Structure 1
């Protein structure tokens, strides 16, 4: 079984080299394939799935070896007579239940399904770890970008305060205006401190789950439109869906177990060889024994249960497929609508930022009052935060779709 685990781990370790053709799909704001594969190999959930794969190999080995083993039976006895000495006698028997032809092949197929199921669970563990990495990574980039945004707002508020102080020295602004501008700067600095705390927490969550994550966040990328038709994406995600593969394997396992149970309606015979010594050792007995259980209602009910399990597994497979299709449709709709929303939010943020800059210049020249300047700054901040949220949401939706389709980080090779 170690061979199976080695193959899977080797596939993870070499996926970055095998996926060079897909490397252009890795955006600059995401971890590289080599780094992501290394982090995923160290994830506890993935290591647990690797261990379970090893256990599945032992289960398959048990099925190949058969549950039947040799049994040795020895009996000693003393025969006493009314007259004369007693006779010390003994008997030894060696027996084993033998699988009927065809059952061994069925057991081997069941063992293969157990291994395939464990491999699918390992694939799903890798996929879920990749989704967790993406979520934690994007939360970190979002928090870092929000901190930078508030730092820029603090600089803008500081410049506004300097403009008010300059006009006060020129006798064109009151002390009250200076206090209002200073209060606005204090509010921005408070929000900057909150943004720094959120960035620290986001970084901590990422590095606790993935300790090898870098200390410096990359620049946030620009969202891109989703290429390709919905049907193509649907087929791609369904073809690489580990939960759907697991449901199909569970159905296959239930069908094979039902076939095995049907075969067990004809019981396996137990064959034995025995020898005995009786009558003061003058009688030596050698023989063969055969015993066969007589099937009854228990085996019939077991078969009924197995056939019901096949129906249940088929329904579970169909339910999983529909659940996957709904999730794919929602993911595609989110990715496309979030991209359109980000384009609108970006335009609004650029206009609000330009308005704030012009208003600040107008205030410095005495062409606008302080309240107009503060209102412009706050509107600019709100628009910038909305644009940032829309940008991260659009990126997250697109990257999540790529992860689900196994198109980044070498997931197509796991």
Structure 2
């Protein structure tokens, strides 16, 4: 009843408008939102993206301010008068600057705003990928630890079984061959326990080295759940939240404004200035204005055509990114539903083989079954239990991938 109630509350939470969907609580087995965000923010890929975004902000501000700056000119000369022999020390001072015309200043401000948005979208991309990696490593660590526990339990059973075989050998009910087989079984399971320990070490190292994170003891994988939304709604929401799509969209818009800027630049920016001069033995003071206009040529036209084609290329790139994200969303949904079905099958299989192994253990204790049959049943039970755990880990991993891709947990929707 409690599970049904919580399920109903979750359905209610996801039934609200998309804009409020980020209020979905983080699954209990994952790190909290505050802790996950701290680890994600410390990830080098996110740090690099943030620094790049800050650089883009400065670059955008520079674009809006324009590269046109005031230029000061100072010229000095000496003039000799042949008729009088007088000498005149003269000078000219000028201040000039190129002025953006043809709407270029407004376009530069648009380019600045788009550069800021592109940087923000790329930070979102980095956070999203880091969140995926954190969730995958967290889930893998829990599953690896559980696999190790399962094998250790099997090792204890195998050791107890060896004790039983030895007692039966002393009583004349078992042969030395049975004892050797039981010892070989312990050796095989011990090898698997060692391998499982290595997998735990590797999983914990991956989590610790990248995120400086550690899974607390006692954390277990949850029961996998069906996706709350149907596949079309998941796909639509993922497309709305996908940072690569946002980035590609902004880059295409940036290219469009850049193309318009290049077309406008076919009308060159004039340079205007003011100057003053002192001439003729300081008897003449000059004050004037200057204007210079470059004469446009083929260079500016070709640059405008180049920018237009680059905008078209980025439009195609945007469409390609949208299709790739849509395909990935559909595939992720299929992996989530498929892994859930495989976990259910594996769990039922593990239950049946586990029950068979318990019955076979009892039969062997009563002398109604041979050792080979017991070991076979136990091996089947161990393999199916581990397969069920692996299927559970995969189902949970894909379930969390759905939530992360839709930006429903860890405040990813705020990027």
Deviations 1:80-106 (A, max 9, x none): 344513322111111111112622111
Aligned ranges 1:48-197 → 2 under 5 Å: 48-82=48-82, 84-100=85-101, 102-197=103-198
Superimposed CA distance per residue, residues 138-171 of structure 1 (whole angstroms, 9 cap, x where no aligned partner): 2211211110111111122122212212222322
Cα deviation digits, residues 32-58 of structure 1 (max 9, x gap): 222211211211211222222221221
Tell me the alpha carbon deviations over residues 228-277 of structure 1, each in whole angstroms, 9 at most, x when there is no partner.
21110011100000001111101100111111111111111111111112
Which shifted more, 125-134 or 48-57? 48-57
Question: In 1, distance between residues paired with 2:250 and 2:359?
Answer: 64
Residue correspondences, number: 395
The aligned residue for residue 228 of structure 1 is 229
Aligned-partner Cα distance in 2 for 1:21–1:113 = 29
Partner of 1:34: 34
Match of 1:358 in 2: 359
Cα distance in 1 for partners of 2:366, 2:215 equals 46
Farther-moved stretch of structure 1 (356-365 vs 74-83): 74-83
Q: Is the 8 A contact 2:93 2:275 kept in 1?
A: yes
Q: Deviations over 1:341-383 (max 9, x none)?
A: 1111111111111111111111111000011111111111211
With normalisation by structure 2, the TM-score equals 0.92
1:300 aligns with 2:301: yes
Contact 2:142 2:215 in 1 (8 A): no
Contact 2:41–2:47 (Cα < 8 Å) also in 1 = yes
> Equivalent residue of 1:31, what SS?
coil
Contact 1:95 1:271 in 2 (8 A): yes
| 1:28–1:218 contact (8 Å) kept in structure 2 | no
- DSSP-derived class of the 1:289 partner: strand
User: What SS is found at the alignment partner of 2:94?
Assistant: strand
Please name the residue that 1:47 is paired with: 47
In 1: Cα distance, 2:169 partner to 2:193 partner: 27
Mean CA deviation greater in 55-64 or 191-200 = 55-64
Give the aligned partner of residue 6 of structure 1: none
Q: TM-score, normalised by structure 1?
A: 0.92
CA contact (8 A) 1:69 1:96 kept: yes
Task: Find the aligned partners of 2:264 and 2:129 in 1 and give their Cα distance.
Answer: 39
1:244-393 aligned within 5 A: 244-393=245-394
Q: Structure 1 residue 215: deviation in Å?
A: 4.4
Residue of structure 1 equivalent to 2:209: 208
The answer (yes or no) to whether the contact 1:141–1:217 under 8 Å persists in 2 is no
Question: What is the Cα deviation at residue 203 of structure 1?
Answer: 0.7
Following superposition, the deviation at residue 320 of structure 1 comes to 0.7
What CA distance in whole angstroms lies between the structure 1 residues aligned with 2:335 and 2:61?
A: 46
- Backbone CA RMSD of aligned residues: 1.6
1:68 match: secondary structure: coil
Q: Single out whichever of 110-119 and 43-52 deviates more from structure 2.
A: 43-52
Q: Which moved more, 1:154-163 or 1:365-374?
A: 154-163
Structure 2 unaligned runs (5+)? 1-19
User: CA shift at 1:411, angstroms?
Assistant: 1.2
| Deviation beyond 6 Å, 4+ runs, structure 1 | none
In 2, the alpha carbon distance for the partners of 1:22 and 1:228 equals: 13
Change (3 A) 1:130 1:170: same
Is 2:241–2:406's contact at 8 Å kept on the other side of the alignment? yes
Q: Classify the secondary structure of the residue corresponding to 2:24.
A: helix
2:24 to 4, 22, 25: 22
Give, in angstroms, the shift of residue 213 of structure 1. Answer: 2.7
